[in-house]
Structure 1
Amino acid sequence: MAVQKFVLDDSFDETAYTLIGIHCRLEDYRLAYLLNKCLGVALKRRASDLDYSNSQAKYSIYQWEDEKQLITWSLVSNICKIEAIQSRKFESLFDTQEKIIKTFHLLPEYKTVNFLLKIESEFSSSKTKYILDNILKIPQIATAYSIDSSILKSKDNLIFN
């Protein structure tokens, strides 16, 4: 009896998406509103934030599914700050606990990026440039650029389902 062996390509592992890094000081809801207005999308806050079990970090996420073109747009915060209480190890007269702020990043390779816009569809370079040009027209955004997802070490963090 012959043994059949099926080999699957690595292309099934990755879905095609465009990733854009955005630098700005806006709140997440304000940026979602400006992107909706500028790009003609309808980003809405998901009922639950992204919560990774390996850390205490929760990241806000806004999504829109374009059913006509079968494209999912996701705006997610790259930075999560959590206030924690740290106790001192030595004993003294003024023994207190101090509050510290821990910072977590969704993509640690891009610590300076405030928000990530993930578009689950493979666009041509001209369409990506058109989207970037429209994003850069928003005066509150310092800069935005395309991120090459093939070189990311933490690309598993970009799976939002």
Structure 2
Amino acid sequence: MANHKLILDDAIGEDFSLIAIHCSEEAYKMAYLLNKFIHLRLERRRRDLDFSEEGLEITFPLFDFEDTNQYTTYHLVANKCKTVAAHTVASGGLFGDETAEEVVTKYLLPEFKKVDFFLKISSEYETTPIRKLLMQLNEINQVISAFMVEVSEVKSRENLIFD
């Protein structure tokens, strides 16, 4: 009997750049800071990035801006989502079970748990001025640090599909 082996290539190419941002601000404030200091025009999408995992609804705020002059698209997404998980605990008593709530933190890219935001940059050009952008990001007072992430190191690249 013949064995058939299917080899699936990675469907997600590395045609984008990814910048990790450490910042303790809320997502809307981070988008505002990028709009103000880097002169982007990020707007929040009507629908956030939603996942369902282990019975929990996980939502990540997503902002985007398409620069038609430079043929570049910017996506700002939060890496952390705090959600409340309810657990039913049997009390063994006469009056029924008790419900315990627990705050659970989920990550868009679990391998980067210390990162607060990701800025995904997709461009038609071969090179985009990433170094200049990193310098501008690091000059913002509220940003603790910003650095380039090698897309090949990201294990959960499928979470970065925003279309």
> With structure 1 as the length reference, what TM-score do the two structures score?
0.84
- 5+ residue gaps, structure 1, are 1-9
Question: What are the Cα deviations for residues 11-60 of structure 1, in whole angstroms up to 9, with x where unaligned?
Answer: 98415111011111101111101101111110000000011245621110
**Range with greater deviation from structure 2 (19-28 or 88-97):** 88-97
Question: What are the Cα deviations for residues 51-85 of structure 1, in whole angstroms up to 9, with x where unaligned?
Answer: 12456211100000011111110000101111121
Hey, what does 1:21 align to over in structure 2? 20
Hey, what does 1:44 align to over in structure 2? 43
RMSD: 2.2
Picking from 87, 103, 114, the partner of 1:112 is: 114
Give secondary structure in 2 for the equivalent of 1:42: coil
CA distance in 2, matches of 1:15, 1:149: 6
- 5+ residue gaps, structure 2, are 1-8
**Range with greater deviation from structure 2 (84-93 or 67-76):** 84-93
Counterpart mapping for 1:28-107 below 5 A: 28-54=27-53, 56-92=57-93, 96-107=98-109
Give secondary structure in 2 for the equivalent of 1:56: strand
Letter in 2 for 1:141: V
Letter in 1 for 2:28: Y
Which has a greater percent of strand? 2
Name segments (4+ residues, structure 1) moved above 6 Å. none
Are positions 1:159 and 2:139 aligned together?
no
CA distance in 1, matches of 2:59, 2:30: 18
Aligned length: 151
Describe the shift of the 1:134–1:93 C-alpha distance in structure 2 as closer, same or farther (beyond 3 A). Answer: farther
Hey, what does 1:5 align to over in structure 2? none
Give secondary structure in 1 for the equivalent of 2:152: helix
Give secondary structure in 1 for the equivalent of 2:57: coil
Describe the shift of the 1:13–1:107 C-alpha distance in structure 2 as closer, same or farther (beyond 3 A). Answer: closer
Question: What are the Cα deviations for residues 111-146 of structure 1, in whole angstroms up to 9, with x where unaligned?
Answer: 111110001126648x21110110011111111111
CA distance in 1, matches of 2:91, 2:134: 53
Letter in 1 for 2:149: I
Identity %: 38
Hey, what does 2:3 align to over in structure 1? none
